[in-house]
Amino acid sequence: MSSQSIFLHSNDSAISISDAEKIFYLKQSINAPAGYRLLIGLTNLTLPNSMYNITSDRNTITISVNGVSTTYSVEAGNYSATDLESELNTAISGIGSISFDPIDNLFSFSFNNPSIIESTTMERPIGLKGQLPLPGATTSYRCQNICDLGGVTNMYIRIRNLTINNLDSRGNNSNIIASIANNTNYGGYMFYVPPEVLYYQIVENNISHLDIEFTDQEGVILDLNGADFNLTLTVHYVKQRESHFKNTLLKEIKNKYSKNREEEKKNDE
């Protein structure tokens, strides 16, 4: 059977949950005939790198002074280390300051009074991963990890309504169809054309819609800041092994026969 390509433009989605979550409905479903299975692969993708390295849900730091906790935040945006230093200094100016050392890429805090950094949603950018909360109040603290303002390093494309038996780093089953390295600077375009398209056999024999989701390397849904994307999915039909098909069909017949027998017994009672 001939293959089919599905050309998707984000503006044409039937349901838009967010910039990175779109649901597309097919007017004509893709069905695998008896004895066939469906394979699906991502053929290409075009997407602008419009993703901030400091997002609206990862832009806060909570500091306790004399037992009083206060959460400070910076505006979402695409920051350099010096930009982030300036914004954080503005945010925490009432209790202290922060400085950036470009030689070793480390941030350091200086407080007017003994303080405790309790938590932050900017662990990677500031270099505080695995260090919080601080064990005790201090007037100065030097972050142990380098600042990481790389933002989204890998973009995962998931098809949530299809069962793809891939695995994630924890060994769990995942419906990720492709992991795309973010190899362009902020403001540039990502053109993904794999040298070899990988096709995955799905459990479903029917595709009526496609629920597309973009996440970062940590599984967090991306904020594309209003940007559009285009992608192409290609579907192949593969003939199922005859023995496996016969066994599957025989199992379905047995299950149906058992259900009918149970219904007959209930009716007799």
Mind listing the pLDDT tens digit for each residue in 196-214?
999 999 999 999 999 999 9
SS3 state at 264: helix
Q: Is the pLDDT of residue 122 over 90?
A: yes
Domains of the chain by range and CATH? 4-51+153-243 (2.60.120.1100), 60-142 (no CATH)
The pLDDT of residue 129 is: 94
- For residues 161-190, average pLDDT: 90
Beta strands in the chain (DSSP E): 4-9, 15-18, 21-31, 36-48, 60-65, 68-73, 96-101, 106-120, 138-142, 154-159, 166-167, 173-174, 176-181, 189-192, 200-201, 206-215, 230-239
Do residues 229 and 10 touch, judged by C-beta distance below 8 A? yes
Evaluate if residue 266 carries a pLDDT over 70.
Answer: no
> Does residue 91 carry a pLDDT above 90?
yes
| Cis geometry, peptide bond prior to residue 133 (ω within 30 degrees of 0) | yes
Most distant pair of Cα atoms in the chain: their distance: 85
**By C-alpha distance, which of 163, 154, 158 is closest to 211?**
158
For residue 261, pLDDT beyond 80 = no
Question: Rg for the chain (alpha carbons), in Å?
Answer: 26
Judged by DSSP in three states, 45 sits in strand
* Sign of the torsion formed by the C-alpha atoms of 260, 261, 264 and 266: negative
Mean pLDDT, the chain, integer: 91
The pLDDT of residue 256: 73
Write out the two tokens for 183. 């190899």
Confidence (pLDDT) at 242: 64
Convert the pLDDT of each residue in 34-86 to its tens digit: 889 999 999 999 999 999 999 999 999 999 999 999 999 999 999 999 999 99
Distance from C-alpha of 36 to C-alpha of 39, rounded to nearest angstrom: 10
Residue 93 has pLDDT above 70, yes or no: yes
Confidence (pLDDT) at 259: 72
Contacting residues for 71 by C-beta, under 8 A, at least 6 apart: 60, 61, 62
Give the pLDDT band (50/70/90) at residue 246.
low
pLDDT bin (cut points 50, 70, 90) of residue 245 is low
DSSP string, 125-155: HHT-TT--S-SS-EEEEE-SS-------SEE
Residue with the bigger pLDDT between 255 and 147: it is 147
Has residue 268 got a pLDDT over 90? no
Q: pLDDT band at residue 173, thresholds of 50, 70 and 90? A: confident
